[in-house]
Amino acid sequence: MSKVHSSAILTGDVQIADGAQVGPFCVLDGTMGPITIGPGTRLMHQVSMQGPLTVGERNRFYPSCSVGYPPQDLGFDPDKAGAGCVIGDDNTFRESVSIHRAKMELPTRIGDKNYLMANSHIAHDCCVANKCIFANNVSLGGHVEIGDGVIFGGVSTVHQFARVGRGAFLGGLTGLSTDLPAFFMLTAINVAGSLNLIGMRRSGMQRSDIDTVRWVYEVVQRRKLSRPNVLIALAERKENPIVQEYMRFIETAKRPITPSTGSALRGTSITTTVE
């Protein structure tokens, strides 16, 4: 049986599953579209939600979270429901996390087992995969795509339409407006000066796979090749699934691939660019 505190306000189409909890002074507005809260999910108190919104199982929302409200866009009609938001299972949303609903035909989407620390912001039409960690005050612009297991340092930001591959690491106080490939480390604004070696080892990657990622990094960042020639060079090992992943990422990039130029915070600055 669900538990809804007497001070919570539920309006419109709101469905609370058995085992879910809605704490004091929460506001769930299902008048724009339906809100569904899955079993085991807990809204601690003063959490605000607006539909269309689907929340899966065993999520925890800390005080002052705001989920499903309109995009921060002067051109968007705030009375338009749109595609809303979809949130998976086993996520943690700490104090004052904000997630906005989509403008386009697909919902803003958060996967499973993500941990978003205080004041993190996920803008409209973003797609966040699984097991990502957002430190305090991380901000994603609209239409950003995030792969599995990405770690964001505090106050890092991602420009709209940028992509981040799985296992990448964004250092604190950094900014990204390019596409950051898998396991690359953002060490300064738009500078991938290193690899997330610690993350790869902790994830249990085999040494041979880590060596493959090192080789890809050398091809992409150090050979001073144009993008077409980078793909030709990577094709030398195209049978390798990891290399195939990088090739797909580069082939589908609409933004530049994050270079290693600039004042990297760790290691030696590399002057190669990928165009």
Q: Which residues have CB under 8 Å from 199's CB, separation 6+?
A: 149, 151, 167, 169, 183
pLDDT-derived band at 272, boundaries 50, 70, 90: very low
Q: Computed from CA positions of residues 248, 250, 251, 255, in that sequence, does the dihedral angle turn out positive or negative?
A: positive
What's this model's pTM, rounded to 2 decimal places? 0.93
Q: What is the CATH number of the domain that holds 48?
A: 2.160.10.10
Question: Quick check: is 52 in a domain?
Answer: yes
222 and 133, same structural domain?
Answer: no
Contact call for residues 69 and 45 (beta carbons, < 8 A) = no
129 and 29, same structural domain?
Answer: yes
- Collapsing DSSP to helix, strand or coil, 28 comes out as strand
pLDDT digits (tens, 9 = 90+) for 108-160: 999 999 999 999 999 999 999 999 999 999 999 999 999 999 999 999 999 99
Domain end marker among 94, 119, 143:
143
124 and 13, same structural domain?
Answer: yes
Question: Quick check: is 157 in a domain?
Answer: no
pLDDT digits (tens, 9 = 90+) for 244-269: 999 999 999 999 999 997 643 333 33
Distance CA 40, CA 174 (A): 35
pLDDT digits (tens, 9 = 90+) for 14-70: 999 999 999 999 999 999 999 999 999 999 999 999 999 999 999 999 999 999 999
Residue 221: give the domain boundaries: 200-251
Q: Looking at the 3D structure of the chain, how many domains does it have? A: 2
Average confidence score pLDDT of the chain: 94
Query: What residues act catalytically?
Result: 124-125, 142
8 and 139, same structural domain?
Answer: yes
Which of 197, 109, 178, 97 is closest to 137 using CA atoms?
Answer: 97
